[in-house]
Amino acid sequence: MANIVAIVGRPNVGKSTLFNRLIEERKAIEDNLSGVTRDRHYGHAQWGGRFFSVIDTGGYVTGSDEIFEKEIRKQVRLAIEEASVILFVVDCLDGLTDLDTEFAKELRGTDKPLFMVANKADNLDKMLMANEFYALGLGEEKIFPISSASGSGIGDLLDEVIQKFPDEGEEDPDEGVPKLSILGRPNVGKSSFLNALIGKERSIVTDEAGTTRDAIHTRYQLYGKDYILTDTAGIRKKAKVKEDIEFYSVMRSLRTLEDSDVVIVMVDATRGLEAQDVNLISLAIKNNKGIMIMVNKWDLIEKDHKTMQTFKDDMTQKLGENKWIPIIFISALTKQRIFQAMELAMKVYENKHRKVPTSKLNERLLPEIEKYPPPANKGKYIKIKYITQLPTKNPVFAFFCNLPQYIKSPYTRFLENRLRENFDFEGVPVKITYKKK
Ligand code: GDP
Ligand code: GDP
């Protein structure tokens, strides 16, 4: 299960400074890999061997200078629903404010682990100021004075935060079973697709409601193979939240996305690929998920022999460098290609777990590299000596060379393209890293 830490609090208490501290180390690693898009409010972190995601909820609340009560309520409610742990940040310099009290009121009902974080406790005097926040009567026994600016106190906080994550050791009965999920805007046809695929079975008693939300994880079989399909279709209907803001789309999809192996992004053929779909796709890429696009309502499109290609070209253009994402055209209504779509998802799952033997990698790629070596930099000749796939969960390839720091991103793209031509990684983010040899 994904561990998600949400940072909440009024503006200017230092949420984004804290966020940046938490993801700092991981960011440095991610920056060394190709194909990673940055997000200022959402990222990955690690402490004491535990991995988690961090979301700066405040970063998504934009618009006016003033945060209205309604906004606070939304921000907090989503954090409570979606997060594993909540960090409620307050400011020692300003002391307790009315807006803090408003937040506290909203947070009081949660059964999620909540930490009171008193930021800007830069020195002992300021640390004492933190005591004022005991008046809010929130949090796990004590208040954590920290200084996001200097980093002090953050280690102590994280030591306790990671204690709240569920034990990893527990036996997962679904270990090794592909986890697929269907995400997409309201009304694209998620429910219809699931009903067409699974029929009445969908509502039978094996359905097991998620603990914190209404996504349903159900185990199915297709051609004798088991898979788990997460059905998020009911969420909107129940919550009645209009999911047209970046924050909501991110928060609502995050946990499902992080718990999936393959994310099927469903798009409405009559609307094409929209900004929110692209957001979802970049989030999936960032999380190293298998991805495919399923264009639904194909029955509504008037077609000739070129229509599908035109659609594909248009979408591929919007996807920029990510041309490796497969696109399939279906109709939940007429059931056109719905089983092929699931087969494609399973194929993406297989690709994601593909391990290419070192000998084969070198045999195929070294001649290509010899033909087009990395351009010399500052008069220095760059030589790639050998390549190996790292034993990671997602495909990462290490290229060993004399001057790794001199290789530029266009060449990395060249290598990625050669990798994809020679080995099937359709639907899978592929990462490249350089190591000195
Ligand atoms: P946010 O609106 O809650 O995300 O707050 P920011 O992270 O943007 O920080 C607001 C201001 O507080 C900025 O000017 C930061 O430099 C400052 N700040 C953040 N953390 C600290 C801290 O630990 N100590 C001090 N003295 N200032 C801080
Ligand atoms: P969800 O909100 O993503 O679960 O979308 P629904 O499954 O509730 O579908 C929204 C609307 O689109 C409903 O009126 C469906 O009948 C319609 N719809 C779904 N799939 C198709 C399709 O393939 N073709 C057509 N013409 N309509 C569809």
- The arithmetic mean of pLDDT across residues 6-31, rounded, is 78
Asked if residues 213 and 82 have their Cβ atoms less than 8 Å apart, the reply is: yes
Confidence at residue 171, expressed as pLDDT on a 0 to 100 scale: 62
Confidence at residue 80, expressed as pLDDT on a 0 to 100 scale: 79
Rounded to the nearest 10 degrees, the angle between the axes of helix 338-352 and helix 190-198 is 100
Longest dimension (CA), the chain: 74
* Cα 255 → chain centroid: 8
Whether 178 is in the pocket of ligand 1, judged by its Cβ within 6 Å, is: no
- The arithmetic mean of pLDDT across residues 36-58, rounded, is 76
Distance 32 CA to ligand 1 centre (A): 27
Whether 331 is in the pocket of ligand 2, judged by its Cβ within 6 Å, is: yes
Residue 115's closest CA among 126, 106, 125, 107? 107
Lowest-confidence region among 93-97, 101-105, 141-145, 250-254: 250-254
Whether 122 is in the pocket of ligand 1, judged by its Cβ within 6 Å, is: yes
- The residues with which 24 forms a beta bridge, in sequence order, are none
Whether 119 is in the pocket of ligand 1, judged by its Cβ within 6 Å, is: yes
What tens digit of pLDDT does each residue of 153-167 get? 999 999 999 999 877
Lowest-confidence region among 97-106, 218-227, 251-260: 218-227
Whether 292 is in the pocket of ligand 1, judged by its Cβ within 6 Å, is: no
Is residue 403 scored above 90 in pLDDT? Answer: yes
CB atoms inside a 10 Å sphere around CB 125: 9
Residue 222, CA distances (Å) to 50, 182, 252, 266 in order: 34, 16, 28, 20
Distance in angstroms (rounded) separating the CA atoms of residues 39 and 262: 21
Burial class (CB in 10 A: 0-12, 13-18, 19+), 230: buried
Distance 188 CA to ligand 2 centre (A): 6
- The arithmetic mean of pLDDT across residues 428-436, rounded, is 94
Whether 153 is in the pocket of ligand 1, judged by its Cβ within 6 Å, is: no
Whether 57 is in the pocket of ligand 1, judged by its Cβ within 6 Å, is: no
Helix, strand, coil % (nearest 5) of the chain? 40, 20, 40
Burial class (CB in 10 A: 0-12, 13-18, 19+), 305: exposed
Residue 122, CA distances (Å) to 63, 146, 148, 152, 269 in order: 30, 7, 8, 8, 54
Q: State residue 224 phi and psi, 5-degree precision.
A: 80, 0
Distance 333 CA to ligand 2 centre (A): 8
Give the number of the ligand closest to the Cα of residue 15.
1
Kind of pairing, strands 4-8 and 216-222? Answer: unpaired
Is residue 106 scored above 80 in pLDDT? Answer: yes
The pair of structure tokens assigned to 84 is 């594993």
- The arithmetic mean of pLDDT across residues 359-368, rounded, is 96
Whether 191 is in the pocket of ligand 2, judged by its Cβ within 6 Å, is: yes
Distance in angstroms (rounded) separating the CA atoms of residues 194 and 181: 11
Mean of the per-residue pLDDT values for the chain? 82
Quick one: pLDDT band at residue 82, thresholds 50, 70, 90? confident
Distance 58 CA to ligand 1 centre (A): 13
- The arithmetic mean of pLDDT across residues 11-16, rounded, is 89
What tens digit of pLDDT does each residue of 178-194 get? 999 998 887 888 888 88
Distance 332 CA to ligand 1 centre (A): 49
Q: Which amino acid is at 381?
A: Y
Give the number of the ligand closest to the Cα of residue 117.
1
Distance 266 CA to ligand 2 centre (A): 11
Q: Where are the alpha helices (DSSP H) in 307-379?
A: 307-318, 338-352, 358-371
Q: Cα–Cα–Cα angle for 348, 349, 353, nearest 5°?
A: 110
Closest protein CA for atom 27 of ligand 2:
297
Locate the ligand 2 atom nearest the alpha carbon of residue 188 and give its number: 3
What tens digit of pLDDT does each residue of 261-290 get? 999 999 999 999 988 788 888 888 888 999
Q: Cα–Cα–Cα angle for 337, 343, 348, nearest 5°?
A: 125
Give the number of the ligand closest to the Cα of residue 10.
1
Closest protein CA for atom 18 of ligand 2:
189
Kind of pairing, strands 179-184 and 262-268? Answer: parallel
Q: Which of 15, 72, 148 to mutate to test the pocket of ligand 1 (most atoms within 8 A of CB)?
A: 148
Distance 252 CA to ligand 1 centre (A): 27
Distance in angstroms (rounded) separating the CA atoms of residues 110 and 81: 9
Select the more confidently predicted residue: 101 or 69.
101
Q: Which of 12, 15, 16, 17 to mutate to test the pocket of ligand 1 (most atoms within 8 A of CB)?
A: 17
What tens digit of pLDDT does each residue of 290-310 get? 999 999 999 999 999 999 999
Distance 91 CA to ligand 1 centre (A): 9
Confidence at residue 146, expressed as pLDDT on a 0 to 100 scale: 95
Distance in angstroms (rounded) separating the CA atoms of residues 18 and 180: 33
